[in-house]
Amino acid sequence: MTEQSIHDVERSGDRPRAGDQAGQGSQSVRRALDLLTLIAAGERRGGLSVAEVTDETALTKPTVHRLLRELLHAGYVEQAPDRRYRLGPEAYAVGAAAEARYGIRQHALVAATRVAAACEDVAVATVRRGLHYVCVHREEGRWPVRSHVLQVGDRMPLGVGSNGVAFLAAMPPAQADEIVAAVADEVTRKFPHLTPDVIAGLVDEARERDGIGIVRGLISSDSAGAALAVPAHGGPNGLSIGIVTPASRLAPDREPLLCSLLRAETGQLAKEHP
């Protein structure tokens, strides 16, 4: 049963058949998982209110309440005293189990630490999740003025920011073009100036640098970033290492240093964890 036919049944008020109920169950699971992902991204904001969840998901308030109630009961989210929703202990347990299997954060932490020590700027590790990427580690450098773009848990569409550009640059052009088209509505809604043509231009420039994405002033006017996807890790669970810095710290004369650091660390990660 398609999602459209499910919506038709809901609107008509007819009692769904057994097959319809199975379809509705699958839809509820997807919605709950999407909600959990949204709440994870809201951690840096101190959690999300019901109104914020409703606005960002376009679900009805009764549906949001129902899904949150189930996630609360299962321990995947919890409600703080200010009534905002945050990740619960079961979410931590699942994440810890996944980390033990994949070790992504452990491997990337060492690389990001070395990059931050060498350039004194902020270094980040991000992983690809379908049409998006998520920041899994942020290492603060010693430089006193820092960019606050991209915190742990932030989730961005591919093509947004230097890491998003680097992931696309590591793909075959046809695949990258399909992804840019797929996320165009979301990107336009959040970053109106990042048109598909702008992103395509950034990706082309990254390919000329052997995959290093560089973005200046497009996410925040005073911030810039450089990133490179780890070779052999460019699939759906790909990994990238990036540098986030004040725009003045990514001047053309400093660009070769940052690019060499990224090439060295991503190359080492590819050798250690093929």
Domain boundaries, the chain: 3-90, 103-272
Which pLDDT score, from 0 to 100, does residue 3 have?
35
Coil, helix or strand at residue 1: coil
Contact predicate 198/204, CB 8 Å = no
Do 103-272 and 3-90 have the same topology in CATH? no
Sheet containing 132-139: give its strands across.
Answer: 155-157, 132-139, 122-129, 239-246, 223-229, 213-216
User: Which CATH code is given to the segment(s) 103-272?
Assistant: 3.30.450.40
pLDDT in tens, the chain (274 residues): 333 333 333 333 344 444 455 566 678 888 888 888 888 878 777 888 999 888 888 788 999 999 999 998 888 889 888 989 998 888 777 776 666 555 566 777 889 999 999 999 999 999 898 899 988 889 999 999 888 888 888 889 999 999 999 999 999 999 999 999 999 999 998 899 999 999 999 999 999 999 999 999 888 888 999 999 998 755 555 889 999 999 999 999 999 999 999 999 999 888 876 6
Which pLDDT score, from 0 to 100, does residue 208 have?
95
CA angle 158, 159, 163 (to 5 degrees): 80
Which pLDDT score, from 0 to 100, does residue 24 have?
62
- Identify the DSSP state of 250: G
Which pLDDT score, from 0 to 100, does residue 18 have?
45
Which one is the CATH code of 3-90: 1.10.10.10, 3.40.30.10, 3.40.50.1220, 2.60.120.620? Answer: 1.10.10.10
Which pLDDT score, from 0 to 100, does residue 235 have?
57
Which pLDDT score, from 0 to 100, does residue 193 have?
92
User: Which pTM was predicted?
Assistant: 0.70
Which pLDDT score, from 0 to 100, does residue 13 have?
39
